[in-house]
Structure 1
Amino acid sequence: MPLFEELDCQNSPIGEISLRRRRIPAFGERYIYEVKLGDEFLMSSMFVAAEEALSSLGLAALEGGNLDVVVGGLGLGYTAVEALKDKRVNELLVVDFLETVIGWHKHELVPLGKILNSDSRNRYIHGSFFDLAVAPHTGFDPNQEGRRFDAILLDIDHSPTEFLDQSNAGFYTTENLGLMAQQLKPKGVFAMWSQNPPEPAFEALLKTVFSRIESHLVSFYNPFQNNQARNTVYVCHV
């Protein structure tokens, strides 16, 4: 078993994106999968607790069944797979701007691709989450204009103030969050991951659109720094 492999590397509209896997003998024989954009690390399978919590916390805030859910940002698939563990989910739309990332899952270059491909409730949507979010008359589902959802779960930017691409910054306004909220059903939920502690300015912004918000700290062990790291999951109710 090699210690390092680059599985794919392609140009994308926002820069060169690559998928790698490595083994670190101190952490055992398992492979660690990593996604990089240029020289920037986007995600590692070493740290997925908060991505999973985005789904578990977001969906736990919902009542009833037959849930229709949107996940913005595919990554390595952990948020999507965690959502599908909830048996109440009727259909999951996973929106990603990068066709390359969707291809990694469809062709099962990443471990969770097989799980997503084998679940008939899952559907990949190639498109810009941020463009679709602010167009409620057409919306996220290309097969059903104006469709509304029980939950929209977002994990794309590093935080509400640190963006994967600078063009995403315009999404974080009362007007655009309000357009996205129009795509939620009554009592629906918007949840979002951030790598940073809760940001009071962003919480205040969310309160201009949503009736109630909760900011959850998610802790996990970082073996590289030998400490507990913390991310945030914001859960917002219409």
Structure 2
Amino acid sequence: MSRLFEEIDSQATPLGQVSLRRRTIPALGNRDIYEVKLGDEFLMSSMFVAAEEALSTLGLAAVQGESLSVVVGGLGLGYTAVAALNDERIAELLVVDALETVIGWHRDELVPLGKTLNADSRNRYVLGSFFDLATDPQTGFDPEQAGKTFDAILLDIDHSPSEYLNPANASFYTTENLSLMAQQLRPQGVFAMWSQNLPDAEFEALLKTVFTRVESHVVTFDNPFQGGEATNSVYVCVK
């Protein structure tokens, strides 16, 4: 196998075949680039993490108080979770992912940030569907404490509010189900969400049916494949 490319792992999951790959692109520098694919679709790359990190920094900037309890929905390559743990106010972080394979990559330290997450006692992996747990406030996100509430919930799973990793996720984006999730936030708690697209006015209007304050942030980053800047969005909502 070429030293420029390696498939580290590939496993069947309920969503399809998920693979973890590592490559080097000499024209972009001598560094390892990690990628995750679902079937033939690219889900994430360690080349483009600015918006995933901004999900944590922007979301947590809106949270008041100390000794924070935070949920991250979607583990991916770990950038959102690590960025959250960089906030010294974090007392505990629950990272929810539906794929045991992805959690295993981090526990086995097959991805670079696995070591960082495993070494931080504030971090805990939760195997489960974020969307099922979000809409069941009596059970909630913490398998050790039913009905627990949190200071922030940070979501990075679907591509956007209208482009879903799994078609079943579409039902989450309603006033009813967002309200069920909001029950798991403490007073003035924050819900923040990543999107690959520019802010969507219809989705902002939907969020305003649940939250008292909604702000959208555009995050720009360099994309050498497009020969310039690319953009993602982060929605930040206060209960």
Superposed displacement of residue 28, structure 1: 1.3
Give distance in 2, aligned partners of 1:119 and 1:28. 30
Q: TM-score, normalised by structure 1?
A: 0.99
Give distance in 1, aligned partners of 2:20 and 2:59. 28
Give distance in 2, aligned partners of 1:64 and 1:96. 27
> What is the match of residue 75 of structure 2?
74
> What is the match of residue 216 of structure 1?
217
> What is the match of residue 193 of structure 1?
194
Alignment of 1:53-92 (within 5 A): 53-92=54-93
- Are 2:123 and 1:102 equivalent residues in the alignment? no
- Are 2:207 and 1:206 equivalent residues in the alignment? yes
Give distance in 1, aligned partners of 2:65 and 2:207. 24
> What is the match of residue 151 of structure 2?
150
Superposed displacement of residue 232, structure 1: 0.3
Superposed displacement of residue 27, structure 1: 1.2
Alignment of 1:33-182 (within 5 A): 33-182=34-183
Q: How many residues align?
A: 238
Q: Deviation per CA, 1:21-66: give whole Å up to 9, x if none.
A: 0000011111000000000000000000000000000000011110
Give distance in 1, aligned partners of 2:140 and 2:64. 23
Q: Which amino acid aligns with 2:103?
A: I
- Are 2:17 and 1:32 equivalent residues in the alignment? no
Q: Deviation per CA, 1:186-229: give whole Å up to 9, x if none.
A: 01000000000000110000000000100000000100111110
Q: Which amino acid aligns with 1:201?
A: E
SS of 2:203's partner is helix
Q: Deviation per CA, 1:104-124: give whole Å up to 9, x if none.
A: 000000000000000000000
Give distance in 1, aligned partners of 2:180 and 2:50. 29
SS of 1:125's partner is strand
SS of 2:188's partner is strand
SS of 1:16's partner is strand
Q: TM-score, normalised by structure 2?
A: 0.99
Q: Which runs of 4+ in 1 moved over 2 A?
A: none
- Are 2:19 and 1:18 equivalent residues in the alignment? yes
Q: Deviation per CA, 1:143-162: give whole Å up to 9, x if none.
A: 00100000000000000000
Q: Which amino acid aligns with 1:123?
A: R
Give distance in 2, aligned partners of 1:181 and 1:64. 18
> What is the match of residue 232 of structure 1?
233
Give distance in 2, aligned partners of 1:2 and 1:79. 28
Kindly, what percent of the aligned residue pairs are identical? 74
Give distance in 2, aligned partners of 1:137 and 1:166. 25
> What is the match of residue 184 of structure 1?
185
Unaligned segments of structure 2, at least 5 residues = none
Unaligned segments of structure 1, at least 5 residues = none
Q: Which amino acid aligns with 2:121?
A: S
Superposed displacement of residue 180, structure 1: 0.0
Give distance in 1, aligned partners of 2:137 and 2:217. 28
Superposed displacement of residue 67, structure 1: 0.3
CA RMSD, 1 decimal: 0.6
